[in-house]
Structure 1
């Protein structure tokens, strides 16, 4: 049995897909010590892993939202500097055999490098460039503008980079590397078929398929209330972009008179009794809806295009209507359109008529359902957590042989 340190960032979109991998590692006999914050303790422990807190200095949680790239870089660098001593002390005491870290957990790569331990990177997003990050024209322009207009953040980031190099002999090659953290083995939670430009990526990327559906949802019994054979439309904008009252009002206007049932998930700040809810609607807070179970029953899934939600819909062969709320979701929506398993709507163009027309288009054109089923098959064929663990074991074994040879040679 080997010991594993698992580092992640405390967001549902990153923790949920990791749980299947952590659970499979435990199943195969590994002792997994999974770092997080207290709000994710129950989820993490449900895999059989040991939960360990990042500590009081770690200030990031799932309420953090920013569209400022330099602020994002700064936060990840600050957190790395804040907890490095703690992580290295834990490594010295517990002596893990290897580390698994999320692509955004900069401290995971830095701690592994400082301690000389094999590490595996996991991607919850699409890999859109050979260096593993979203280097599109839109990103490059946003990146350049952010650098110019946020000089204090840039100076802070550069200072921390220098301090990490001087204190721990850890090199962060570029700003992009802060949010990529590529390793010799990078597990990507999607399939080759859904990944754009797969041929441009090296063999160090292994596409193991989505894994968020392997998590356990601690939600009470839920009655979907489907009426006969009528189609079910499920509307959910995720856990962050779910408090837009105007959007929900457009949905009730668009679908109130249609011959279908509608289940709508809303955020905690939405006062449900204040909504004008049609007879064919059921509206609940997002944390009261077992999404994995609902998706097994629904005909169309309207979503913000988060990677987990998109994967979970397609894993059930459900066509998607995606309304992206930020750039990463727009990239996901592009792949849904490319694979013809759904359609994408611009948030700024949303009207009740457009929403209704989009649902009617999906319902009348059965090719969307057929293509969603093709994506489902590609996800299953990718191998999931079991394949991911096999790749990890192979890689760690190779690294140990390499280290042993190096020691003999030295």
Structure 2
């Protein structure tokens, strides 16, 4: 291995949300352990996490992501679908994009002044979009004659508009037949000129505000991936719909590996009930169902409470519910069934090795954790990207798709029974775990990050 001074300086940045920052932090941590130098641009919210992995922290105070009250009211009044999805993206990701672009530009100028002869490579999650404007003619930061190489990390499913798939969020399966491609072409046109048009217009407007001299064309979803010299999907090809027109710079790295659990982690008082269900010999008689809605959705009526009710009183089943936030509790007066245990927070990679099924609202992080722990899943969810995540998991064969945001206890009970009764879910989950482990996501990204050819801005 060469000395650190011979390696490029890696400037990492990510959108300030857990689902965006955590996977990018994991990649940065691995690269630091492998001898790379990382400077990480983020808000003070992530300062301690960044310093703890050995990265240099560069401060950028962006507004906390979220909807203002008026936008939140409008969003809640909109029917679930492409229009609502586009509205959410506008107000979460595009509203403050100019600030993120300027912050990255300032960071690049600072690093260039400090280390004038060193190559810099930018690594960011694709929804941060801070390098996108340079593709459309934004002047380069001071001290640069060419744009540094850029690497995108996708914390979301593949949202590219393709000839082989219907538009994202329509909930339609892929179809690469002649008639299917005609369908896809027509639907993409309708979506781009209809419910997605406000986002297309805002995208173009924001690029102008960022100093771009070229007006973007096509789909803003495609631009998320096309803005980088290389863009990595954090999954294996088996977990995505196959498309024949996938750009060559979009690569599958595989799901990120399980995170190590600190030996000093304090588990709930009832934790031995989980570990004791996994005897070293003989079949296990107690099934473990783990349910969580992640860290964003806190309406426990949607999934956690119906799951507890669905499986209440089953002597052969232990239900573990994690509420996702330190200090969170279920509503006062809710009776936790005798065969259930509830915690404010349990790390996915601590509980999932013991779980027989994972009930989740289909966040992309939960999707990856299920795969890397080889656990069959039951996915709900209709908002954000969740229905498309659930469809891909169902298509890949390791998950049961409830196809609703608010399943009833009966629907959840039927789904759990279906997964327990059909061993194909378990077998497929373990196949996908092996497949993604063998891809070695962190190693693949490390191997390719320095050898990425520059393709943006016509430099390749």
Normalising by the smaller structure, the TM-score range is 0.7 to 0.9
Q: CA deviation at 1:191?
A: 0.5
Unaligned runs of 5+ in 2: 1-6, 76-83, 113-118, 142-146, 172-187, 278-283
Aligned equivalent of 2:341: 282
Aligned equivalent of 1:373: 430
Aligned equivalent of 1:42: 48
> Superposition pairs for residues 339-354 of structure 1, below 5 Å?
339-347=396-404, 350-354=407-411
Q: CA deviation at 1:390?
A: 0.7
User: Is 1:189 matched with 2:193?
Assistant: no
Under a length normalisation based on structure 2, what TM-score does the superposition of the two structures give? 0.75
Cα distance in structure 1, aligned partners of 2:256 and 2:217: 30
Q: Which moved more, 1:67-76 or 1:317-326?
A: 67-76
2:322/2:342 contact within 8 Å kept: yes
Q: CA deviation at 1:111?
A: 5.9
Q: CA deviation at 1:242?
A: 3.1
Q: CA deviation at 1:5?
A: 1.1
Aligned equivalent of 1:109: 132
Aligned equivalent of 1:9: 15
Q: CA deviation at 1:279?
A: 1.0
> Superposition pairs for residues 47-86 of structure 1, below 5 Å?
47-55=53-61, 58-61=62-65, 67=84, 69-70=86-87, 72-73=89-90, 75-86=92-103
What are the superposed Cα offsets for residues 314-347 of structure 1, whole Å, 9 maximum, x if unpaired? Answer: 2111110001242522112112211221201022
Aligned equivalent of 2:245: 200
Aligned equivalent of 1:337: 394
Aligned equivalent of 2:167: 135
Q: 2:311 aligns with which of 255, 278, 282?
A: 255
Aligned equivalent of 1:126: 157
Cα distance in structure 2, aligned partners of 1:173 and 1:28: 39
What are the superposed Cα offsets for residues 64-100 of structure 1, whole Å, 9 maximum, x if unpaired? Answer: 8864524523553442323444432321221261111
Q: Which moved more, 1:274-283 or 1:127-136?
A: 127-136
Cα distance in structure 1, aligned partners of 2:417 and 2:369: 22
Cα distance in structure 2, aligned partners of 1:279 and 1:246: 21
Cα distance in structure 2, aligned partners of 1:155 and 1:193: 34
Relative to structure 1, the CA distance from residue 177 to residue 309 in structure 2 (aligned partners, 3 Å threshold; closer, same or farther) is closer
> Superposition pairs for residues 271-350 of structure 1, below 5 Å?
271=330, 273-285=332-344, 288-347=345-404, 350=407
What are the superposed Cα offsets for residues 201-253 of structure 1, whole Å, 9 maximum, x if unpaired? Answer: 13212111111634777993214322543111000111112323354332222
Relative to structure 1, the CA distance from residue 177 to residue 348 in structure 2 (aligned partners, 3 Å threshold; closer, same or farther) is closer
Cα distance in structure 1, aligned partners of 2:196 and 2:247: 30
Q: 2:122 aligns with which of 88, 95, 99?
A: 99
More helix by share: 1
What are the superposed Cα offsets for residues 181-207 of structure 1, whole Å, 9 maximum, x if unpaired? Answer: 522211110001112115431321211
Relative to structure 1, the CA distance from residue 302 to residue 208 in structure 2 (aligned partners, 3 Å threshold; closer, same or farther) is same
Cα distance in structure 1, aligned partners of 2:161 and 2:363: 22
1:46/1:216 contact within 8 Å kept: no
2:123/2:153 contact within 8 Å kept: yes
2:90/2:202 contact within 8 Å kept: no
Q: CA deviation at 1:146?
A: 4.2
User: Is 1:211 matched with 2:256?
Assistant: yes
Aligned equivalent of 1:24: 30
2:10/2:39 contact within 8 Å kept: yes
2:234/2:254 contact within 8 Å kept: yes
User: Is 1:243 matched with 2:289?
Assistant: no
Relative to structure 1, the CA distance from residue 321 to residue 42 in structure 2 (aligned partners, 3 Å threshold; closer, same or farther) is same
Q: What secondary structure sits across from 2:452 in the alignment?
A: helix
Relative to structure 1, the CA distance from residue 21 to residue 249 in structure 2 (aligned partners, 3 Å threshold; closer, same or farther) is closer
Aligned equivalent of 1:161: 207
Cα distance in structure 2, aligned partners of 1:198 and 1:218: 43
Unaligned runs of 5+ in 1: none
Cα distance in structure 2, aligned partners of 1:75 and 1:244: 23
Q: 2:451 aligns with which of 394, 403, 406?
A: 394
Under a length normalisation based on structure 1, what TM-score does the superposition of the two structures give? 0.84
